[in-house]
Chains A and B, each alone.
Chain A
Amino acid sequence: MSRESVLVSADWVEQHLDDPKVVLLEVDEDTTAYDKNHIRGAVKVNWNEDLRDPVRRDILTKEQFESLLSRLGVSPDDTVVLYGGNNNWFAAYAYWEFKYYGHEDVRLLDGGRKKWELDNRELVDDVPERTPTQYTAKEPDTSIRAFRDEVVGAIGDKNLVDVRSPDEYAGRLLAPAHLPQEVSQVPGHIPTAANIPWSKAANDDGTFRSDDELRELYSEAGVDLNNDTIAYCRIGERSSHTWFVLREILGVPNVKNYDGSWTEYGSLVGVPVAVGDEPGRA
Chain B
Amino acid sequence: MCGATTGGVSLDDVDVAKETIIQGVVYRDDAPLAGAYVRLLDSSGEFTAEVPTSATGQFRFFAAPGTWTVRTLAPGAESVDRSVVASKGAVNTVDVTVG
Contacts and interface: CB of A to CB of B under 8 A. Distances in A.
Given A165-B47, A172-B64, A177 B40 contact: yes
B76 A177 contact: no
Contacts of B47: 165, 197, 199-200
A241 to B, nearest CB: 12
Interface in B39-95: 39-40, 42, 44, 46-52, 60-64, 71, 73-76, 79
Interface in B2-19: 14-15, 18-19
Nearest to B18: A182
B46 A166 contact: yes
Contacts of B49: 165, 176-178
Contact of B62 (A117, A165, A166, A181): A181
B27 interface: no
Chain A facing B: main interface SS: loop
Contacts, number: 69
A118 B63 contact: no
| B: interface residue count bin | 20 to 34
Measured as residues with beta carbon below 8 angstroms from the partner, the interface class of chain A is 20 to 34
A234 to B, nearest CB: 12
Contact of B76 (A120, A165, A166, A200): A120
Nearest to B38: A178
Contact of B14 (A118, A120, A180): A180
Interface of A: 30, 33, 85-87, 114, 117-120, 165-167, 172-173, 175-182, 197, 199-200, 204-205
Interface of B: 14-15, 18-19, 35, 37, 39-40, 42, 44, 46-52, 60-64, 71, 73-76, 79
12 contacts: A118-B73, A120-B76, A167-B64, A173-B48, A178-B60, A178-B61, A181-B18, A181-B62, A197-B47, A204-B71, A204-B79, A205-B73
